[in-house]
Structure 1
């Protein structure tokens, strides 16, 4: 596998896609039922359930403190819990399920590498935790170095790498043993747009190769771009689940029409007239003015944009630019949790 300098990764060697056919292997990659976890009096997981199909990219979202990290640590066998069941590839997950753990990769949010080791030595060390045979390990390490585009930096120590390169090294250490199931915990934090695109494309290619992916992030656009299904949790329990389109249909977040009209910044009377006229339209729910722009929130309708534009023309309100925006997953998240994902 090659992660090229322009951010496009090509596959030069593939393994059979483990569990890629639902008909031949219908057992889910992850099955969690009624998971309960407490920290003293705090109920971190409140009968949480989830089912991740083999071969999918599964988004796990929630505000800070919602229970995402606790759930992942329980699934990985790193935390004890009060009740519930966890099965990975049909087998119970316990702290001593070493055979299962060898099939799992974890890319944490915080970069977790050894500063005393070079790029190549770091990747080899993490590979050695899963693959004892040196010849096989050399092959896997070489593939991982090429995969994340660090071939020219293999002799560098982490402190000499940029933030984006450190992220790539973190990913290589988590996936070098070619796991069947990979957890990515906010892998694109603090990276530039080009590196973010390259990382997302790399995750998609890992998925195409056969790895099931569980993905957490604070960037909703990433979820809409790569995730097959999304689970939103808050206060330790599920509040919504489905594809991004299914989630958007769950909540009537409507349509947002933005009208750039700088003249209303100084003409207070005209601004009041425009806002009142727009509020009289049957589909309009709310109108606000900020930064030279009228923000008109409407229920879904076929003629909202035309109605808004016609109303402004009737009242001689000059329009510099007008645009309509369909609901986003972030709108859904805000409606369900009362906060944005990045809060």
Structure 2
């Protein structure tokens, strides 16, 4: 079964064709990073307008790369939420109209569940049940994944997401946007032990996160040490980046391994934009090995927002007859969920 996936939750317009939920036939992403970089973050109005301009050619390109036409497509999946309302409306409305015109089933996909499903597109996949971390600019959530579509929230950030903290610290330091790659690159020249930043909620008996205190600690340090030296690629700036990054990695790794031990799982999957941080993946993998656990992470092309993961989750939903009607709408946030551990 071929599913056309469409993603427009934030600042990437993406389309993909996925076969049977596991084989990526094509994946096209039109990024807006260069447009938003001058503002230091995503401007929702600009994002929506750029989605409108890009969506038609992106879908056409995805079909062409897959070597198929709309006549070959068996169903359509589009991000329904969470995300920026204006951006979501572009992709979801496009998909809804296309599904109606072609008489095809439409799956309204939860963006976070789709990130977890990006792991099903790997050649070597985690075995059920496994622990999954969705870590990005907007979310830092831990799930127990018991099977296809069976996601149980175990913990989540109570304030800033990890990716958001990377972006804000990078902005404080005058680094480029997005902040994650800039911080990781600078941290390679620094000593993570030189400047110790706090590890919030590390000893709490739950799987929730908090990164606002860490962000404030970095801000205080920068305020108290305004002279960062003549070279931003080494010295104190590099030590700040390394210390901050290691604080985030320590918290994420500790919570993930604790969640896996709690549920007697030996596979851990990480997905979302921050999973592109190879320093995090390498350190987590080494720490997990001590408990005979294995870490699974997607390639760079599947770490950020993409439509292949939307199609993979949509395939499951359409297979299980979890389809949308013409009256269904997008949503910016997920209703508050009490974590179950």
Q: Which has the larger radius of gyration?
A: 1
TM superposition score category, shorter chain reference: under 0.3
**Greater share of residues in strand:** 1
Q: Which has the higher contact order (CA 8 A, sep 6+)?
A: 2
The TM-score, its normalising length taken from structure 1, stands at 0.25
The TM-score, its normalising length taken from structure 2, stands at 0.26
